[in-house]
Structure formats: C-alpha cells, structure tokens
Structure 1
C-alpha cells in the first residue's frame, strides 16, 4: 500500500508499507539436518521518498512526469523453523529463530504516468543506495558448540541461496558466536506501482 501527497506543482512525498517474508523452506535436507516444520514466517516493508519533479523536463504538474529524490527503506524478516539433526545413532530436535533487518538510504530517478486523469503507473527506474544488513540467528536447543556452529553456517547458506542478492552481500561475512552477521554495502531499488490518482 502506498500514498503520495503532492506538496507543490514540483514536489511530493511518498510513503509505502506492506507485508513481506522470506521464501518457505521446503525439501531442505543435508547430510546432518532436515526441516521438520517451517512454522512461522513474517515481515514488513516501510519506505519513504521525497520527490522533485523536474519542471524543465515535464509539461505536466506533479505527480505526472520525471522525478528525482532521496529515499529510505526498511525491511524486517522473521522466521521460526524446527529441524532434526541426525547423528550416527540418534536424532536431536532443534528450533531456530532468525531476524533479518535491512535499512537502505539512497537516491532515485523515476517517471510516473497518469492515464485518463486517474490511472497512475509509477516506475522507479534507478535507485542506488547504501544498505545496512543485520542478521541474527537464535538456536533454542542445548547442543554442543561444534553442532551450533554447523547450524549457523547452514542458516547462512540458506539465506544466501534463497534470498536473491544475499550471496553478494554476505559473501565475505561470517556469523559470530552470538549468531549475528552484520555488513553494509551498495544496494539498489526499483519499483513498478499501479495506483489511483484522486
């Protein structure tokens, strides 16, 4: 859901929010671990941008035309999964809880069409920015440190395989002893939105 408020013939502010979640973990099996229950996935996205519609390039008033401006975006993903860890002679049940936060600030270039005075088609074409990534994995079972480290590494691999672009973001990062992995790097935003102009 989004709302854009025109502040003047050349400026506007836009706010967007909605649900989001990481992909469901199905048929994830390794030599040591197997997903038993991907029991909870949730998330949220909130973003805000301030737009300057370029008067010299546009023959229409805002919100129709070419615009530039800064933006801020926040994404939060949570996931709870039950695993079974297989050993030579036994199986251990393990529960993991992960939280993944992404803050991105940047600058965007876009164009918004208004058809028949009502239908809006908003295209954010270029949106480079700086992303701040914070991933935390909590293991809710009493297991030895070696197996804990193995699970944490497995969770990192799942994140980088299932979430597009995360193999680049976390390529040189490791999960520390507290289950936390942090980094910042260049991010990118592109959006296609359809709306109603009133």
Structure 2
C-alpha cells in the first residue's frame, strides 16, 4: 500500500460552472413560463378554481433530471400538504457516478470497475406564495429550505508502470460525500388535476465535500505520487463537483479531504397526486 500526498493544480473553472448553472436555471425558467402560458388557458389541464378542496394531499414524484448527471439513478420524492399554503417533502434513492473506463488517462489503464454504488436522501419544506398563486398547493410558485446528502463508493482495478518501467496491477477505492443546506425557489404544475411537473429553478447552498482515497498495491512512493496526480485530475475533469474538494489542496490518498464550499441545486420531477382533497 502506498500513501502519498497529492498536489492537484487544476485550472479554476468555478466561473464556468456558475455560468453553466445560470444558463440551465434560465432555460428551466423559460420552460416554466411557456408551460404556464400554454396550460393556463385551459381549465381541463390546470383544474378549476383555486380552493383547498381541489388539490390532493399527496404527491409522489420521480427525478428525471438526475438521469443526465448520474449513472443508474432512481430518485423519488414524496410531498405532503401540511396546510393551505405549506408542504413538506422527503427525497431519496439510488445513484452511481458514471464509470471511468472510457477516459484516457496518461500512463494508466483502468481495466475494470470492480464495484460502484451510491445513494442520496434529503428533505425540504415549501411555502407556496399566496399572493402569487391562483391554485392551492402543490400547484404554484414556492420557496423554502432544503437539505440533501449524497454518498458514492467505487473500487477500480488499474494497470500502471513503476519508475523502472515494470508493469504493476493496483486498485483504488474512493468514497465521496456531499452534504448541502440551502434555500430553493421553484414552480410546480398540476396537469389534468393529477400529474405534477415540478421545476426546482434555483437552489443555492453551503455544501460540505469529503473524499477518502485508498491506493492498494506494491508501488514506490515516487510512482504513486505521479499516478495519483493523474487520477485526481481525471476525476476532476469527469466530475466537476470534485474540483471544489481537490483543487489546490493536499489530499492524502490513503486519508481524507474535507472542504466547505458554495453549492447549487436544480431539478425536474414528474409525479402523481392522490389522497384526500
């Protein structure tokens, strides 16, 4: 086993990620505005009136936007109406980070993703704004606090060469977590009185990122430092969220990395409402 300190000097891309997040949120906002204009002209889609009796108590939803970011993801949410203008929701599910097999890393051959797993869970409390909403919750514009927790575990087999050019078989285990406390703004449509279409448009947060790295194999410290540098940079390029954790940080690959940094959330859910009205 080799334990060395990796110095990651990746180019700062926080600004690029902020621009991308802003663009995605802007596109979602435009989509919400279009949906609102298109469906509000027909009562058969949005329901009749705005009284409490015409909305259902329960809302079960599937996160469809997570399919764009993660591998093998199944994330569900349950939202329940608390009173005339407030709801509470819990969210959870299984997800994996995409594999690294198709990434070209200098002098490293990732032979096999031995195992990978992950999950997330969270909760939120929503306030549906009475002055802005014609309909009863869970339909309309909302704001509120949220918390989320993510964990990803992976093990990969590698083939590298030591400083003398001899081939070596190694394995690397990674464990990554992300905890967020934030505040969100979104809009949820109820179509045909039953189908929910939920857009979390803006969700800034303060986030804690942690990572544990463990490199197993018979390798000298000099070679281990070089290969861990390459692996760390590859992880950053593939998963931008790790840039907050690893960029310009000293991370012991057999130890821990930990940092607090700004986070962001946006999501799209599709669901079904039911229960007492």
Q: Does 1:126 align with 2:170?
A: no
Higher strand fraction: Structure 1 or Structure 2?
1
Query: CA offset at residue 102 of structure 1?
Result: 0.3
The counterpart of 1:21, out of the listed 87, 92, 96, is 96
Q: For residues 136 and 81 of structure 2, what CA distance do their matches in structure 1 show?
A: 10
In structure 2, list runs of 5 or more residues that go unmatched: 1-75
Which residue number in structure 2 is paired with residue 136 of structure 1? Answer: 212
- Which of 247, 250, 253 is equivalent to 1:174? 250
Larger Rg: 2
2: CA distance, partners of 1:112 / 1:29: 41
Consecutive unaligned residues in structure 1, runs of 5 or more: none
Q: Secondary structure at the match of 1:153?
A: helix
Matching residue of 1:161: 237
Q: Deviation of residue 165 (structure 1)?
A: 3.9
SS at match of 2:97: coil
Query: Who is 2:188 aligned against?
Result: 112
1:151 aligns with 227
Residue 134 of structure 1: how far off its partner (Å): 0.3
Number of the residue aligned with 2:114: 39
Count the aligned residue pairs. Answer: 198
More divergent stretch after superposition (26-35 vs 133-142) = 26-35
> How far does residue 131 in structure 1 lie from its aligned partner after superposition?
0.8
What TM-score do the two structures reach when normalised by structure 2? 0.67
Q: Which stretch has the larger CA shift, 6-15 or 171-180?
A: 171-180
Do the aligned residues in 2 keep the contact of 1:68 with 1:108 (CA within 8 Å)? yes
1:10 is the counterpart of 2:85: yes
Deviation of the 1:156 alpha carbon: 1.6
CA gap 1:177/1:2 in 2 versus in 1, 3 angstroms: closer
1:96-111 to 2 correspondences below 5 Å: 96-111=172-187
> 1-side partners of 2:233 and 2:82: how far apart?
45
Question: Any idea what SS the aligned residue of 2:249 has?
Answer: coil
TM-score of the superposed pair, with normalisation by structure 1:
0.92
